Amino acid sequence: MPGLDWNNIVEDMLGFGVSILMTLMLISLAVWFACSAMVHLTKMGRRIQRPNHNALLRENERLRNSLTDARQENDYLRKLYRDPPPLAEDRTRNAVWPLQATEEELVEFRSAG
């Protein structure tokens, strides 16, 4: 039965080749998984250690500009309300607050409106 010996030899060789291929696939899969995990960890570590510096600078500049605008508006309003114009000369203020106007100014305001 020389045919059976060749058949057994071929089957043994194929089985041995399949086992080598499966071993190589498992090793390569393990290496790929380890490398991808290392890449992910290094990227995450970089993000934690050093945040986006440019975004922080832009946000800082925006907040500075906002604070400057608020200070200018605050100074303007303080100047406006600390030094109010006299009642007799300011007819627009009397139009807004008619209760503070004199009787003559109220009559004049009613006749104009």
Q: What would the pLDDT profile of 35-47 be if each residue is shown by its tens digit? A: 999 999 988 877 6
Q: Give residue-wise pLDDT tens across range 6-44.
A: 888 888 999 999 999 999 999 999 999 999 999 999 888
Question: Within this chain, do residues 26 and 60 fall inside the same structural domain, yes or no?
Answer: no
How many independent structural domains does the chain possess? 3
> Can you give the residue range of the structural domain that contains 1?
1-50
Question: Within this chain, do residues 3 and 46 fall inside the same structural domain, yes or no?
Answer: yes
- Asked whether the whole model's pTM tops 0.85, one would answer no
Question: Within this chain, do residues 20 and 64 fall inside the same structural domain, yes or no?
Answer: no
Helix or strand or coil: residue 85? coil
pLDDT band, very low/low/confident/very high, at 85 (cuts 50, 70, 90): low
- Identify the pLDDT of residue 20: 97
Question: Within this chain, do residues 9 and 35 fall inside the same structural domain, yes or no?
Answer: yes
Question: Within this chain, do residues 75 and 34 fall inside the same structural domain, yes or no?
Answer: no
- Identify the pLDDT of residue 5: 82
Please report which residue ranges of the chain form alpha helices under DSSP H. 2-49, 53-82, 91-96, 103-112
Question: Within this chain, do residues 44 and 57 fall inside the same structural domain, yes or no?
Answer: no
- Identify the pLDDT of residue 81: 81
Flag whether pLDDT at 99 surpasses 70: no
Question: Within this chain, do residues 1 and 45 fall inside the same structural domain, yes or no?
Answer: yes
Question: Within this chain, do residues 23 and 58 fall inside the same structural domain, yes or no?
Answer: no
Question: Within this chain, do residues 10 and 39 fall inside the same structural domain, yes or no?
Answer: yes
Residue 32 Rama label (left phi>0; alpha psi -120 to 50; beta): alpha
Question: Within this chain, do residues 46 and 1 fall inside the same structural domain, yes or no?
Answer: yes
Token pair of 85 as six digits: 């114009």
Flag whether pLDDT at 94 surpasses 50: no
